[in-house]
Amino acid sequence: MEKVSLENKKILITGAAGFIGSNLAKRVLKEFPNSTVVGFDSMNDYYDVSLKEYRLKELETYSNFKFVKGNLADKNLIDSLFEENKFDVVVNLAAQAGVRYSITNPGAYIEANLIGFYNILEACRNNPVEHLVYASSSSVYGGNKKVPFSTDDKVDNPVSLYAATKKSNELLAHSYSKLYNIPSTGLRFFTVYGPAGRPDMAYFGFTNKLIKGEKIKIFNFGNCKRDFTYVDDIVEGVLRVMQGAPEKKNGEDGLPIPPYAVYNIGNSNPENLLDFVNILQEELVRAGVLPEDYDFEAHKELVAMQPGDVPVTYADTTPLERDYGFKPNTSLREGLRKFAEWYKEYYKNK
């Protein structure tokens, strides 16, 4: 592994107004005040834009942060951004997210996740970087029966277009790493949650519905298991990975061995959806988001599985521990408590 210093560097973070991107940008800005972070985001309205603006406002308090609004699929814009800035490290977190949305709006995924990622790879080829880190997803494992999911597993059976685009990112990155010696690391994130998260995620959507007195749908009759991973653990993992790139070296044929790697970042502790909902409701009551006497049973509906969903996600993070000395460890209760407290604070004047 090649050490990559983040001191006095130019770092591009795409999806910087997003949930993971904004949290990562904040960490980098705080810990490396001599570096410049350029945040890139389309600010699209897939979910409430005011949440993206709220995250962005926090970043704009840092003097070493610059924001560029634009579309990743705009090749000329991406090329000129790279030519002007000569980035040292690139973290591509911009993507059209969500499994269910990919069933109704496939075009958005092709544009952001395939064309957008291709533009990033081309820009890295023409303006060499020390390390390209990009978001993949636990969804690439599809309906794999073997758990925990290992990066050595075959992942050729995506059950959603979203998953297929993420697997494609890994394949594209591999070919660019091989052809142009670009050090790249893909990170398969497992169900990320936390304060100021994505409203389309279950814990956030459930909370919004419960407050309005609406019913929440618990899929697969509550028998889904998810490896919920707190956002700070994801950010810690990404930050460590940014600082250690796959080594450039040649094989016996004298040609480059692709400096390419993929890791899981997950909590390695799958939680049953019903247990998750119980902890969430306890923490919402504790934070004063919902009243003590809220009748949860009356607001729960157990329903069948949705197309594109998988019954279980479970990360094997042994390689991450081995190479970067890190294992996510925030408990679900601690993470949901922080979310509930943030929710109470954020929405109190709304």
Task: List, by residue number, the catalytic residues.
Answer: 162
**Alpha helices, DSSP H, located in 34-135:** 49-59, 75-85, 101-104, 106-109, 116-126
Say which residues have a Cβ less than 8 Å from residue 107's Cβ, sequence separation at least 6: none
Q: Cβ contacts of residue 282 below 8 Å, gap of 6+?
A: none
Q: What gap in Å lies between CA 91 and CA 234, rounded to an integer?
A: 13
Neighbours of 54 (CB within 10 A): 14
Cα 252 to Cα 177, 245, 255, 256, 324: the distances in Å are 17, 21, 7, 9, 28
Helix (H) or strand (E) holding 216: strand 216-218
Provide the H-helix boundaries in the chain. Answer: 19-31, 49-59, 75-85, 101-104, 106-109, 116-126, 161-180, 202-211, 231-242, 273-286, 318-324, 332-347
Token digits of residue 225: 């298991």
Q: Report how far residue 194's alpha carbon sits from residue 177's, in angstroms, rounded to the nearest whole number.
A: 33
Q: Is the peptide bond before 148 cis (omega within 30 degrees of 0)?
A: yes
Dihedral angle computed from the Cα positions of residues 88, 240, 73 and 154, in that order, rounded to the nearest 10 degrees? 130
Question: Hey, which residues does 68 pair with through a beta bridge?
Answer: 40
CB contact set of 217 (below 8 Å; sequence gap of 6+)? 301, 303
